[in-house]
Every structure is written in structure tokens, then in C-alpha cells.
Amino acid sequence: MPKTKRKEWPERPPLHTMGRIIIKFEVANFADILANRQGKLPAEKIRRFIMEGLVDPGSAHMVLPEQVAKDLGIPTMGKVKVTYADRRSRLCDVVDQVYVAIQDRGGVYRATLEKKRNTALIGAIVLEDLDFLVDSKKNRLIPRDPHYILSEIE
């Protein structure tokens, strides 16, 4: 009897598409935001812009194009060793104090920088902190509670 390829049940989508969606979100220099709050910088001078990002809950950290950090005026604070899915690894610069806003929820994060990247990668740390679930069928992020970020305490 010839061997036939067994079909998985239920059929799974390709792994490279599971839980990944593209969104638009805001990035800003948090030092500028603080200076504005202290009355030292007018709001229109805060370095910020809207950009696209790939939401990937399978990745832990946020990754930004190196040029984004330069445009925001955020200095590098060190290096991290990055390992890619194909098992390559290399050292990349890392920045801190990147303000991220998604659907009126915001926080301050660190980000790994990549020179050749032109979109962001938003990982699980940002998603968990801002309390979003990924709806990959409808290509969107859903807050667990529409009014509040839920904080679970033991």
C-alpha cells in the first residue's frame, strides 16, 4: 500500500500567519512628552508619528526600524543579542523610553532596532501590558475590557 500524506485535522493555517496582523499605531519620544507635561516643550514639538506594525504575539519584544529611533531623537542605550527564526543571530542596538499608543491605550517600552526594517514588530510584552487580544480572523486587536486595562493580582 503506498504511503499517503496524512491530513491534520482540523487543518491549520500556515504557521507564519497565525495570530499576526498589521495595525497602525503611534510612537513618540517619551522624554518629549515629559518635557511637555513640565511646561518645557510645546505639544506641537513632541516628536511623534503614526506608523505600521506587525503584531506578533509569538515575539516577546518590540522591534523598530533604526531610522524611527533617529527621527524620534531617542538615543541607544546598549545592545541585545537577537536570534531570528532561521537560527541566525546578531547584536542589535536597543532604545528605551519609546511611548506607544494603540487604540487610546499607551505605555512606555524599550525596543530593539533593525537597520533594514521599515515597519515595527509589536510583541507580547506590549500586547499584555496594554491588555489586547489578537483577533486574526477579523485582523484587529480587541481590548479585554473596552473601558479599562485589566490588572490581575493574586
Asked whether residue 39 is domain-assigned, the answer is: yes
Asked whether residue 34 is domain-assigned, the answer is: yes
Asked whether residue 32 is domain-assigned, the answer is: yes
What pTM was computed for the model? 0.84
Predicted confidence (pLDDT) per residue in 63-74, tens digit: 999 999 999 999
Asked whether residue 52 is domain-assigned, the answer is: yes
CATH number where 64 lies = 2.40.70.10
pLDDT at 7: 41
3-state secondary structure the chain: CCCCCCCCCCCCCCHHHCCCEEEEEEEEEHHHHHHHHCCCCCHHHCCEEEEEEEECCCCCCEEEEHHHHHHHCCCEEEEEEEECCCCCEEEEEEEEEEEEEECCEEEEEEEEEECCCCCEEECHHHHHHHCEEEECCCCEEEECCCCCCCCCCC
Asked whether residue 1 is domain-assigned, the answer is: no
Asked whether residue 12 is domain-assigned, the answer is: no
Region of poorest pLDDT, from 20-29, 36-45, 70-79, 144-153? 144-153
20: pLDDT confidence band, cut at 50, 70 and 90? confident
Total of domains in the chain? 1
Asked whether residue 11 is domain-assigned, the answer is: no
pLDDT at 12: 40
Average confidence (pLDDT) over 10-22: 57
Residue 65: domain span:
20-138
pLDDT at 47: 97
- Mean predicted lDDT score pLDDT of the chain: 89
Predicted confidence (pLDDT) per residue in 75-128, tens digit: 999 999 998 889 999 999 999 999 999 999 999 999 999 999 999 999 999 999
